[in-house]
Amino acid sequence: MIITTSKPFEEVLKALEGEDKVFIVGCGLCATTCETGGEEQVAEMKAKLEAEGKTVTGTVVYEEVCHELNTKRKFRENKEAVEAADGFLVMCCGAGTQSVREATEKPVHPACNTVFLGNIQRHGHFVEKCSLCGECVLEDFGAICPVTRCHKGILNGPCGGTDEGKCETSKEKDCGWTLIYNQLEKMGKLDRFRRIYGPKNWQANMKPGRVIFEKKGEGGE
Amino acid sequence: MTVLIKEHAKPSIQEILESGKFLVTGEIGPPKGTDIDEMIEHIELLKDKVHAMNITDNQSSVMRYPSLGTAILIKELGGEPNLQVTCRDRNRLAIEADLLFAYTRGIRSVLCLTGDSIPAGDHKEAKAVFDLESVQLLQLICNMEEGRDSGGNELKGGVKFFKGAIVTPEAVPIEPQMLKFEKKIEAGAQWFQTQAVYDMDNFKRFMEKARKISDKVYICCGLVLLTSPGQIKYMNANVPGVFVPENLAREMEDAPKEERLNYGIRIMARQIRQLIDEKLCDGVHIMAIGKESVVPQILEEAGVDITKM
Ligand code: SF4
Ligand code: SF4
């Protein structure tokens, strides 16, 4: 799940300066769960913009705004409202917003901040457990990620700041290394803690990332 | 090979420790800005009273005059520096380049640290680097000593440092700390300075554990000068891994206001004496945090004169 938070309305309004007719895009997946771009928030945004004197030419909420072909198809389905708009307000993650970028030549504005790839602990509680490093090391650490859950991404054990299971950065956050230690101990695998891990390959996913399926049947047979 | 600084005014930390002497180190916290007069005063004051001086590297993530520049300054003034290197602000390229430079300028001892977190400091929006961490930094130096950088490329002239690291005897829980201590030794650490220790009984227990892990590495006890009951309250509440025991806290509370610093000096002198008399460890690292000018007084009170050791 991609976790987003809403930008302040004033920031959104400022971005839309000079664009009177706006088309709003929301996302039926992550942004709906995060309550930043579901049906309800899109309707709310529409009302607020209208109260500010804007015309909302149309709204659409569908699954996977990040799917570029999907987005283009949705735009074709809403041709009239899309064509009438001066600009687009996208209420989902940065990937979805750039998907909209591919579907129009007109101005595109983000309504959200995209914060992390998150786990849902319960309604409204999201935490970051994976930071997409491109070379997963969970196997060695009892399936608890040191790259993400340790603030400093240390691979070789806790820093001196760890305090009774909490991270030096915040009493609200668990020290990832205490979690890893406890997990490995429980599993009888402390030998993994003893192992020295060399520098991580931070270029395992060279930005911007790109994955392309190899075509089946290519290269003979 | 030509090394720019060949003449060393002082014996190195390694030489002191290997000769069996009790190592006494102090600490220089560089200023925020280019007015280095006071720092020079502190260096002048300490250079013959302690064997070597640590130089903090943007301590607590607060931007300051650089540790490497200060280390060279100490050298120029005839002192012996212990260069602190953290991994928070520099990636492996920058750290390696700094180490090459340090070596050619006669820096012989490097203390390898991961570094505090960025939000702790005064550049709260800066990007944290942490390309490496302390254990990997130790390994990196070992590789450079063998003539290779961390990309595996051959160096035209390597480095040689006495590799130090830190350990936190008052961490809770202590087991993961001890395992990491062991890893640091395996990664190449030859000596340790501890984070601040207040509770001597706890330190004794730590030393027993540490000696069981290795009787080869040198361990120097880190002591922070107590200056007021407020400082103690603050540290107990906010500084992870620090616990000032009741009796010391009470001693400071009972002190008349104008006598507090003197009480702090006396407490530290007593602790240094205990470290030496009971042969608890291989040295002491004095962190006076802004009160460097009283370090000679602490040593005098403890009856420690490095010229006579
Ligand atoms: S190691 Fe951590 S950040 Fe990297 S892929 Fe695995 S879970 Fe994600
Ligand atoms: S306290 Fe724990 S999680 Fe936080 S930086 Fe240190 S080792 Fe990492």
Alpha-helix residue ranges (DSSP H) falling in chain B:
13-18, 37-46, 67-76, 92-104, 134-145, 175-186, 200-213, 229-238, 246-254, 260-277, 295-302
Task: Give the pLDDT mean for B235-255.
Answer: 85
Per residue in A135-152, pLDDT (tens digit) is: 999 999 999 999 999 999
Which residues from A are below 8 Å from B133, CB to CB?
152-156, 159
**Ligand with minimal distance to A176 CA:** 2
Mean pLDDT of chain B: 95
pLDDT of A221 > 60? The answer is no
Domains of chain B, each with CATH number or no CATH:
13-167 (3.20.20.220)
pTM attached to this predicted model:
0.95
Residues A105 and A139 in one domain: no
How would you class B146 by CB atoms within 10 Å of its CB: exposed for 0-12, middle for 13-18, buried for 19 or more? exposed
Tell me the Cα Rg of chain A.
Answer: 22
CA atoms of B65 and B79, how far apart (whole Å): 18
* A152 to B187: CB separation less than 8 angstroms, yes or no: no
Residues A99 and A6 in one domain: yes
Residues A78 and A23 in one domain: yes
Closest by Cα among A119, A181, A177 to A149:
A177
Residues A111 and A164 in one domain: no
Find the range with the poorest average confidence among B2-16, B177-191, B274-288.
Answer: B2-16
B159 Cα–ligand 1 center, Å: 34
Q: Which residues contact A203 (CB under 8 A, 6 or more apart)?
A: none
Residues A143 and A95 in one domain: no
Using CA atoms, how far residue A209 sits from A206, A214, B21, B131, B160, in Å, is: 6, 16, 56, 19, 39
Helix, coil or strand: residue B295: helix
| Residue A102: inside a domain | yes
Per residue in B110-151, pLDDT (tens digit) is: 999 999 999 999 999 999 999 999 999 999 999 999 999 999
Which residues from A are below 8 Å from B172, CB to CB?
163-164
Nearest beta carbon to residue B117 from set A152, A155, A163? A152
| Residue A54: inside a domain | yes
CA atoms of A110 and A119, how far apart (whole Å): 23
Residues A28 and A106 in one domain: yes
Task: Determine the residue of chain B that is closest to A177 in CA distance.
Answer: B176
Find the range with the poorest average confidence among A163-172, A182-191, B33-42.
Answer: A163-172
What secondary structure letter does DSSP report for B154? B
Task: Give the pLDDT mean for A14-21.
Answer: 98
Which residues from A are below 8 Å from B132, CB to CB?
199
What the block records as the tokens of B254 is: 């009972």
Task: Determine the residue of chain B that is closest to A202 in CA distance.
Answer: B131
Q: Which of A140, A144, A154, A189 is the mutation pick for testing B, counting most B CBs within 10 A?
A: A154
CA atoms of A23 and A201, how far apart (whole Å): 42
- Whose structure tokens read 């992390």? A116
Which residues from B are below 8 Å from A198, CB to CB?
136, 139
Mean pLDDT of chain A: 96
A135 Cα–ligand 1 center, Å: 7
Using CA atoms, how far residue B18 sits from A35, B161, B220, B283, B299, in Å, is: 64, 14, 13, 12, 22
- Whose structure tokens read 């008052």? B170
Closest by Cα among B21, B152, B155, B161 to B105:
B161
Residues A106 and A182 in one domain: no
Residues A106 and A17 in one domain: yes
Closest by Cα among B291, B302, B282, B285 to B50:
B285
| Residue A218: inside a domain | no
Q: Widest CA span of chain A, in angstroms?
A: 65
* Per-residue model confidence (pLDDT) at position B309: 83
| Residue A93: inside a domain | yes
Q: Could you list the residue range(s) of the whole structural domain that residue A196 is in?
A: 132-205
| Residue A190: inside a domain | yes
Which CATH number belongs to the domain containing residue A26 in this structure? Answer: 3.40.50.2300
CA atoms of B115 and B61, how far apart (whole Å): 8
Task: Judge contact between B51 and B13, C-beta under 8 A.
Answer: yes
| Residue A188: inside a domain | yes
A206 Cα–ligand 1 center, Å: 15
Residue type, B8: H
Per residue in B199-209, pLDDT (tens digit) is: 999 999 999 99
* B176 to A181: CB separation less than 8 angstroms, yes or no: yes
Residues A50 and A146 in one domain: no
* A160 to B128: CB separation less than 8 angstroms, yes or no: no
Task: Give the pLDDT mean for B93-103.
Answer: 98
Question: Quick one: how far is CA A170 from the chain centroid?
Answer: 23
Residues A93 and A151 in one domain: no
* Per-residue model confidence (pLDDT) at position A218: 56
Which residues from B are below 8 Å from A156, CB to CB?
133-136, 180, 183, 187
Q: Which residues contact A79 (CB under 8 A, 6 or more apart)?
A: none
Per residue in A20-37, pLDDT (tens digit) is: 999 999 999 999 999 999
Using CA atoms, how far residue B26 sits from B193, B216, B299, in Å, is: 11, 23, 11
Is the minimum CB–CB distance between A137 and chain B shorter than 8 Å? no
Residues A23 and A50 in one domain: yes
Task: Judge contact between A134 and A143, C-beta under 8 A.
Answer: no
Residues A87 and A150 in one domain: no
pLDDT of B4 > 60? The answer is no
CA atoms of A44 and A33, how far apart (whole Å): 16
| Residue A212: inside a domain | no
Tally the domains of chain A: 2
Mutate to test the pocket of ligand 1, among A1, A116, A136, A144 (most ligand atoms within 8 A of CB): A136
pLDDT of B47 > 70? The answer is yes
| Residue A74: inside a domain | yes
State the closest ligand 1 atom to the C-alpha of A134, by its place in the atom list counted from 1. Answer: 5
CA atoms of B11 and B80, how far apart (whole Å): 8
Within 6 A (CB) of ligand 2 lie A 150-152, 154, 158-159, 161-162, 167-169, 175-177
| SS3 letters across B64-84 | CCCHHHHHHHHHHCCCCEEEE
Please say whether the dihedral angle defined by the alpha carbons of residues B105, B111, B115 and B121, taken in this order, is positive or negative: negative
Count of pairs with CB atoms under 8 A, one residue in A, one in B = 95
**Ligand with minimal distance to B128 CA:** 2
